[in-house]
Amino acid sequence: LQLKAAHKRIDDEFNQLKTDYEQLKTKQNEETNQEIIQLRQTNDEIFMNMNNIKAERDRFEKEIDDNRIRLHHSDNQRQNLEKTLHDEKERTSTLEHTIETLTRELNEKKQVLQREMTSFENQNKILVEHETRQQELEDTLIQMSKLINESEAKAIINEKKLEEFQLNNKTLETTLQNKTNEFNNIVNNVQHELHDVEQKNKDLLTVINQLKTLNSSHDSKLIETNGIVTELQHKNERLEKQLEQSSREKEQYQKEMIEFKKLMEKRESELQDRISALTNERNNYQTVTVTTTERIKEIEHAKQSVEDRYKELENEKLMINSQLQNEKSDFAKR
């Protein structure tokens, strides 16, 4: 009864654990699906922002090329102007000083544009790193899907093993009941035979007493009675042997009961190990979920950094356009 109660308690605990695991798995699947949807939306937004940034970069490169052409044209004009000023150097020293100042300013503008080109190349590197991070996130999502599939497969295997354990337990219970019934039948038979022998012994003692009083006239009957007594003694010896056999069978039965108890304890230990394994898998799954959440936060932070950098590029572009307009105006005046 204790084994059955323990087995029932283990079944109840396992069913409760199984229910909790299924609820947790359903909840985690829903949260994972929601996070995947959000990640896909974020990836789409990042992809659109990257396309916009690439378009702005292309336009910005075109403007830089135009500025280079203008600078080249300005260099040609400066050379022509220097030639003219060289011819008129003796007449206009003030104009020569102005041309030198203009040359220095143009060189400074070249350096500024060169620094802007370097900054733009660094921005391209940042975009490449962002694409690499996006690919790593997709790989992480694929690994999460594999882990979920493996957890479901392990849960199915564990359920099958539990069914096998339950079937083996039922088989052992049936065998134990059959052995118990056989032993009870043997004990009952022995008791009946002992009762019969005792009754017969009582009857024989009565007959022996009667034969003693009639010894002289019933010698033949006494001999016959002695034979019957001898036969009964042999029968008693056989019954004693059967009783000893029954005792040995009882000891064997007790040994089998001990082995069965050990087997049940082993089954219970295996079941506890399986429950611990399922608990560890659930904890690992929760750890993967936390890691994914942290990764999402990192991606959102990277997205915010890209947006901030995009705003900085817009401001720098406006500043460069303003400087170019001022340079055009100053150059036109000169």
> What is the pTM (predicted TM-score) of this model?
0.25
What would the two tokens of residue 167 be? 């079937």
Q: What is the DSSP string of 287-322?
A: HHHHHHHHHHHHHHHHHHHHHHHHHHHHHHHHHHHH
Q: Which residue has the tokens 């959102």?
A: 300
pLDDT for position 205 = 63
- Collect all residues with Cβ–Cβ distance below 8 Å to 31 and sequence separation of at least 6: 289
Torsion of CA 205, 208, 210, 212, to 10 degrees: -140
pLDDT for position 88 = 57
pLDDT for position 298 = 78
CB 316 within 8 A of CB 116: yes
pLDDT for position 8 = 72
pLDDT for position 103 = 62
Mean pLDDT by 10 residues, the chain (334 residues): 66 71 75 74 72 72 72 66 62 60 66 65 62 66 64 64 64 64 64 65 64 60 66 77 80 80 80 79 75 75 74 78 78 71
**Domain segments of the chain as ranges:** 2-333
CA 115 → CA 120, 279, 315, distances in Å?
9, 58, 16
What would the two tokens of residue 183 be? 């032993």
CB 16 within 8 A of CB 114: no
